[in-house]
Amino acid sequence: MTLIADTSADKWKTSDRTAADRKWGSQWQTFTSFATQALVHALQPRPGMRVLDLACGSGDPAIFIASAVLPGGHVTAIDMSADILQLGADKARAAGLANLSFEQADAQSLPFSDGSFDAVTCRFGVMFFPDCVAALRQALRVLRPAGRIVLVAWGPYSQGYFQHTIGFLRAHAGLSDEILEADVPQAYRFSRPERLAAKLNEAGFVDVQSEFRHGDAVWPGDAVSLWQHFLDTSQTFRPYFLRLSEPQQKKMAAEVMRQVSAHFDGAVIRLKGTIVLATGIRP
Ligand SMILES: C[S@@+](CC[C@H](N)C(=O)[O-])C[C@H]1O[C@@H](n2cnc3c(N)ncnc32)[C@H](O)[C@@H]1O
């Protein structure tokens, strides 16, 4: 297997990514709101709850959860990338939220005492932890007994938008199913629910459930903007795009835009999205 996707931890430390998040954060928040809703529904937030959000990026869904645990609740949001955390802190301040703190930390070695949280959440982050079970064991440790973990990962690449972008790279740039299924840090690592369930069980969680959830992924913009978003944000699969010749890159851009344009109603692009939602309890 030739894995040329960038699976290194360093890829998250770029200021390019923060710039892209600043540029596209609002559209991405809308596009992925079906996933946030599924996570929050499984979390069942209530006033006073102490929540730890892992790999929080620029604060989605931590900001949403922080307002759902008021009054009295608190969200601690951690990520490895300092500049993305600064962006999250700016957003939380703009939203007037004082019950949310951002801290730089590696999910695989959490700097918190045992039993400090009622719940741990992670949206689109768990698949990128190099030692996923180590991170889940850390989550188990910092949860109180009977505390819940709620994880969201992407479902298969053969969905809505990704079937056009990742699908093209699979057809023309050597991105194979073997790579898309590999148990290494990459977006589709847990695209089969049983794989995430297995990691939760191995880490020591009980009452583990993991299943597909489907929803509407609505992009507030046109095909050109969605394509530009892909170019700006696809850290993991950019090496495959760069592998294409210039004419092939242009062909990919034209094909993706033609395909997603078919779902454009003049204001938004409506696609279907599939995630894996997994939960577990600390015994
Ligand atoms: C795709 S982003 C998801 C961000 C946000 N949770 C969301 O749903 O939009 C993945 C995040 O995982 C973070 N990350 C990757 N490995 C990490 C680790 N070992 N510990 C903490 N954060 C990590 C990256 O810095 C990045 O912000």
3-state secondary structure 128-153: HCCCHHHHHHHHHHHEEEEEEEEEEE
| Residue nearest atom 11 of ligand 1, based on CA coordinates | 55
Q: How far apart are CA 109 and CA 107, in angstroms?
A: 6
Contacts of 242 (CB under 8 A, 6+ apart): none
* Count of other CB atoms within 10 angstroms of residue 214: 14
pTM exceeding 0.85:
yes
Total residues belonging to the chain: 283
- Contact call for residues 124 and 154 (beta carbons, < 8 A): yes
Pocket of ligand 1 (CB under 6 A): 9, 12, 55-57, 60, 79-81, 84, 106-108, 123-125, 128-129
Q: How far is the CA of 122 from the centre of ligand 1 (A)?
A: 9
Sign (positive/negative) of CA torsion 202, 138, 43, 78? negative
The tens place of each residue's pLDDT in the chain, 283 residues long, gives 344 445 555 555 566 778 889 899 999 999 999 999 999 999 999 999 999 999 999 999 999 999 999 999 999 999 999 989 999 999 999 999 999 999 999 999 999 999 999 999 999 999 999 999 999 999 999 999 999 999 999 999 988 889 999 999 999 998 999 999 999 999 999 999 999 999 999 999 999 999 999 999 999 999 999 999 999 988 778 889 999 999 999 999 999 999 999 999 999 999 999 999 999 999 9
- Contact call for residues 117 and 103 (beta carbons, < 8 A): no
| Edge-to-edge strand ranges of the sheet holding 269-281 | 100-104, 74-79, 50-54, 117-123, 143-154, 269-281, 206-219
Q: How far is the CA of 129 from the centre of ligand 1 (A)?
A: 8
Owner of token pair 């955390």:
85
